[in-house]
Amino acid sequence: MNLVDLVESQMIASVQSEKNLELAIKSKVNIVFLLTGDLLSTGVYITRLQEAGKQVFLHLDFIDGISNSKSAMKYVAETWKPTGIITTKSHLIKSASELGLMTIQRIFLLDGGAVTKGIEMTNTSRPDAIEIMPGVIPKVIDQLSRTLNYPVIAGGLITEISEVHDALKVGALAVSSGNPDMWNLEL
């Protein structure tokens, strides 16, 4: 299965605090980016989300107590068993893929050089998808969705439904948002 096949709702819940976990569980989204937790709570969060029918992608950089090493990746894959991971670190994409996890490369597009570097990094790491931030730049979403053969997820600074529609119109597969009000949009 690939990420395109997993997407039922083109809105993705980006859960950045425990207080929003229950809102994500009750929302219409089927994919959750988990950006909160620690060694004691993350496994519980993942289980609760999975029991609610959600596909969980864990952003390792935000989990307190987990390092960005191969052994940490093995622990995550074998013990917590998320659908996949999100990372800005290309070297973790290969490790996660080898362990059977889906991967999303997060790229911050600050300027033209960052776009070029993001393209090179993605072609080297070969993730299942890329998440570009900020997601309010339709011109770059269009460029990357045409240049790279990977699904594009737009995230960051999206606060209006029109921005969601703009991102989807120019080629984004889905949009991630940390705003629970966006998680029940009819898309």
pTM for the full model?
Answer: 0.89
Give the C-alpha separation, 27 to 30, whole Å: 8
pLDDT of amino acid 111: 82
The single-letter code of the amino acid at 111 is: D
pLDDT of amino acid 142: 92
Token digits of residue 98: 């080898």
> In the predicted model, what is the mean pLDDT of the chain?
92
Condensed to tens digits (0 to 9), the pLDDT of residues 96-131 reads 999 999 999 999 887 878 888 888 999 999 999 999
CATH number, span 3-181? 3.20.20.70
Q: Answer whether 99's CB lies under 8 Å from 77's CB.
A: yes
- Domain residue spans in the chain? 3-181
